[in-house]
Structure 1
């Protein structure tokens, strides 16, 4: 089921909450000196290089494989069209780490030293905020497939920051309304103390309270913490009807203590921790628990995830067990290549100027749904409007997508999640 929300007063009734967000956001030098050429003459070759700063380690490491797979799959499709477009893409992979291990302190200088036109990442909003000034200050695009903090909407990034994931304004609205519509009147939350966690908790609170509920406990913890007994005790002592866990991978440490004293069907997860736990927990431990994740549901993305797994196995790899933000990473890579082609340049500033256009933000493009289709339009002298596998995207001036979907999922007896049919 899809519900289209055009204002913050909208309701969520199950399945997918598809959200139009243009009314919610404020309107928001380079790695190369290559001169802009006419994009309609592909004989002028373009060698585009981008880097990734995605979580190979740290508390979001489970998101690294699907995100990097999405980038690699997009690169393969882009490079299959090189003969027709004159553009080829090279990707330099790097690790963002987290706020504890700080892998980004070494990786970002290394990637910038590779003369990349863009850095794709990080997944964590808190980590991205640690290096956004370093990247955009160097005149390089930063493009995240998974940042959801509202801080980026008004950030002074010189027009060089973009993301394919929607702001937490949306996920918070959907989750807060979902908890209320499930009949809960009181809510406890355990919250990661960074821009992602506290921002998402704020919007969950606003939506839940607007629906008549009350947040009765909201303890926080910091990245790198390894024990959470105090936070769990505080929430349980408040005797809430529901508990929302706004965390990253630390949730694995919390869950045994939480589910020992609280019914799983009243637990709610978010994009930072929604994972297939499988036999990491006793069978049935999470039956009925729900969670939200920006993007279309995995069920809806079946064709894409199947094609992605086929690509990985053809390359000698293994199919994925998690798909979170794979589509957003794929779309981010496609958009960067299309913008480069439209600009006729690998100059970061020139690409940034075209990203809104190729996403449909200029409103005067021809809709297309693959790199090859969009590239044909651009090479032919037209304007392409790419609608991606993660959604229509359509950037505003802040680099935020103005249309987005929030998938709602429910855990089964196997402790894995599937699309929720409410």
Structure 2
């Protein structure tokens, strides 16, 4: 009997040693700090789901050396101090090599300056567009760890100004969210718009999460503007737009990219937005775009045009592929690998399980890859910024339609001409 038990025990030990290591034994945790609640909650909820979808596709394709990427998602509540607390826990306690987030600049900047840059942990923001982030890179304060999958407002403000003039908006009022994003977007827009011949009748900042914005809308009507440039987020933006319309403001709008949202359109009323125009960064259609638009809603329950959804998938995909390229969950190795997985000359890779499996095979063979994203082909400069075209769109009968494109080269030419 003793011999039988000994044999059984030995068999069990041998059997265990012959069993492949479970993926859970080598999971790589990536931190997400997203605005799940607060004024930017629609952005963060969509962004978190997009990253989860990218990681699902990547894990099903084989993962990083067979290891799964898993998320530890924290809510910044759209507040910088809360974001710093959550990011600190992820870095110091969970030892994550990467944080994806925040969505808005007023969250991403304090995470970068207080947590990720000092710790040398990679940070990828899907939607923070403030020029301050570029300037921090120029000053050597990012430690090279910051990347973003959206263009800087320094470019988008100029593109928006040219588009406004082209649409006949020569006399415009501005209402903007009073944070780093809103202030910088308006600064860049105003500099370009006035030099292009436009007149700004008033500039009205607003503080977030107010029940009513009637006072701001009323103040912005001074000077008889022909249109309103609204720099906001979908929830507050809808409340402001309704106050503007009900107060007698002209139903002609220029909108920032975050207002390209069916939720915003439904909340305001499509009938009031037939003369609403806007710009979005980096939106050249690719096979990744087609894949995402066809599959995202089934995965997330959220429409694919939700703010920040597309570029958050790309943030997740780039982090995943870079982790595979690095071969481990090490911040320094992932930082070095991020530019390599979107570099010119590599074989083109698109979104989805099959494409990621192809990418993993190429990485395993030591061959270069170039991920082309949902927002289009991307590459990073020395400050972690992307360059790409701007989509020019308008709302008509409740639908957002593309009416043109402005290349980064065109925007640079405009900026150069205005500087003379």
- Normalising by structure 1, report the TM-score: 0.80
SS class of match (1:408): strand
Q: Deviations over 1:11-54 (max 9, x none)?
A: xxxxxxxxxxxxxxxxxxxxxxxxxxxxxxxx9x9642201111
Give 1:180 shift: 0.2
Partner of 2:90: 111
SS in 1 for 2:225: coil
Q: Distance in 2 between matches of 1:287 and 1:298?
A: 24
1:129 aligned residue (109, 112, 128) = 109
More helix by share: 2
Distance 1:294 1:76, change over 3 A: same
Contact 2:123 2:146 in 1 (8 A): yes
Counterpart for residue 316 of structure 2: 333
Deviates more, 1:46-55 or 1:152-161: 46-55
CA contact (8 A) 1:60 1:272 kept: no
Whether 1:262 aligns to 2:229 is: no
Distance 1:80 1:405, change over 3 A: same
8 Å CA contact 1:375–1:384 kept in 2: the answer is: no
- Say if 1:303 and 1:169 are closer, same or farther in 2 by CA, change over 3 A: same
Q: 1:339 to 1:83 in 2, by over 3 A?
A: closer
| Alpha-carbon distance change, 358 to 96 in structure 1, aligned in 2, over 3 angstroms | same
* Displacement after TM superposition at 1:270 (Å): 0.8
SS at match of 1:237: coil
Which residues of structure 2 form unaligned runs of 5+? 1-22, 406-420
Q: Which residue of 2 aligns with 1:292?
A: 279
Q: Please give the alpha-carbon distance, in whole angstroms, between the structure 2 residues aligned to 1:407 and 1:293.
A: 5
CA contact (8 A) 1:52 1:91 kept: yes
Structure 2 SS opposite 1:147 = coil
Q: 1:64 to 1:298 in 2, by over 3 A?
A: farther
Q: List gaps (5 residues or longer) in structure 1.
A: 1-42
- What do residues 129-164 of structure 1 show as CA deviations (whole Å, max 9, x unaligned)? 122121222221111010100111131110111111
Of the three residues 392, 399, 408, the one matched with 2:377 is 392
The 5-angstrom pairing of residues 5-404 of structure 1 reads 47-82=27-62, 85-99=65-79, 103-112=82-91, 113-132=93-112, 133-155=114-136, 156-248=141-233, 249-260=235-246, 261-264=248-251, 266-276=252-262, 277-282=264-269, 284-296=271-283, 301-310=289-298, 312=299, 318-320=301-303, 322-360=305-343, 363-369=344-350, 370-401=355-386, 403-404=387-388
Pairwise CA RMSD: 2.6
Alpha-carbon distance in structure 1 between the residues aligned to 2:58 and 2:266: 38
Distance 1:221 1:111 in 2: 32
Alpha-carbon contact 2:257-2:278 (below 8 Å) kept: yes
Is the contact between residue 226 and residue 250 of structure 2 (CA under 8 Å) also seen in structure 1? no
C-alpha contact 2:293 2:304 (8 A) present in aligned 1: no
SS at match of 2:340: helix
Does the CA-based 8 Å contact 2:284-2:377 persist in structure 1? no
Note the alpha carbon deviations across 1:257-314, whole angstroms, 9 max, x for none: 21121232x211112333223543455122221222223279993442112223x1xx
**Aligned-partner SS, 1:404:** coil
Between the aligned partners of 1:160 and 1:106, the Cα distance in structure 2 is 19
What secondary structure does 2:373 align onto? coil
* Count of residues paired in the alignment: 368
Q: Is the 8 A contact 1:46 1:344 kept in 2?
A: no
Gap change, CA 1:153 and 1:75, over 3 Å in 2:
same
Q: Secondary structure at the match of 1:191?
A: strand
Displacement of 1:226 in angstroms is 4.4
Distance 1:278 1:207 in 2: 28
Give distance in 1, aligned partners of 2:172 and 2:347: 46
Larger Rg: 2
Question: Relative contact order, CA 8 A, sep 6+: which one is greater?
Answer: 1
The answer to whether the Cα contact below 8 Å between 2:238 and 2:268 also exists between their aligned partners in 1 is no
1:412 — aligned with what? 396
In the alignment, the residues of structure 2 paired with residue 105 and residue 158 of structure 1 have an alpha-carbon distance, to the nearest angstrom, of: 17
